[in-house]
């Protein structure tokens, strides 16, 4: 029942947002940009390829915050990640975020990047979920998916990540252990745009309302 409630919540949020938020245009995935290994492993996934609700599909939108081009901003309240472009534009991706008590907020940078990374559950995750292995090798059904960006503050790994997922049905929900999940296709797209040192701004809870205000003509209020 909890899974059904989450899915219904995502659908309801999507319907509400679709009525008041209009992207400049949606960006289709171009599989021609995938590496041979990406195509091979994505063809082997066992999870259901659940379509992402329209409001959470990758799109180019107007962007009027102060973050510099080339940086990332995460609006956890509204389940969006923005990659800032030039000329007041951004690529907006739908994401899964952590439950409020587990979520990361603040300013970090990309300190490391991995393709098809291994998953090493943290001590906190082991405490909350019994029976997990110490390491899960990277692959088509790994929880970190196709790509991972490791968030650092100074020289310290925060243990929070922006990464792919083997649960695309939860894009638009707040259920993760704190990390920011994207579809594998979106994770590959973002990964190809960033570099080590990229600034990542994650808004505090209840600070994303301004990003949800859309005047219907392609501009944020």
Q: Which residues are catalytic?
A: 163, 179
Strand stretches in the chain, DSSP E: 25-26, 59-62, 72-75, 80-84, 89-94, 97-98, 106-115, 147-153, 156-163, 174-176, 180-181, 199-202
Which one-letter DSSP state was computed for residue 33?
A: G
**What residues pair up with 18 in beta bridges, in sequence order?**
none
| Gyration radius of the chain's alpha carbons | 17
A 10 A CB-CB count for 199 gives: 16
């Amino acid at each position: 029942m909890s899974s059904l409630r989450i899915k219904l919540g995502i659908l309801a949020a999507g319907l509400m947002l679709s009525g008041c938020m209009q992207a400049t245009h949606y960006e289709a995935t171009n599989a021609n940009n995938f590496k041979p290994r990406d195509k091979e492993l994505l063809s082997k996934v066992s999870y259901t390829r659940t379509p992402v609700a329209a409001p959470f599909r990758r799109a180019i939108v107007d962007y009027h915050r102060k973050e510099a081009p080339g940086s990332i901003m995460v609006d956890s309240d509204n389940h969006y990640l923005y990659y800032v472009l030039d000329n007041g534009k951004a690529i907006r991706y739908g994401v899964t975020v952590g439950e409020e008590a587990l979520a990361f907020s603040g300013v970090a940078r990309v300190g490391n990047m991995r393709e098809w990374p291994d998953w090493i559950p943290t001590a906190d995750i082991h405490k909350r979920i019994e029976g997990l292995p110490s390491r899960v090798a990277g692959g088509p059904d790994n929880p970190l998916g196709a790509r991972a960006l490791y968030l650092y503050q100074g020289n310290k790994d925060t243990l929070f990540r922006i990464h792919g997922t083997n649960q695309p049905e939860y894009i638009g929900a707040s259920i993760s252990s704190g990390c920011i999940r994207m579809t594998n296709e979106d994770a590959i797209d973002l990964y190809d745009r960033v570099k080590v040192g990229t600034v990542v701004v994650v808004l505090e809870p209840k600070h994303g309302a301004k990003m949800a205000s859309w005047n219907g003509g392609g501009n944020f209020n």
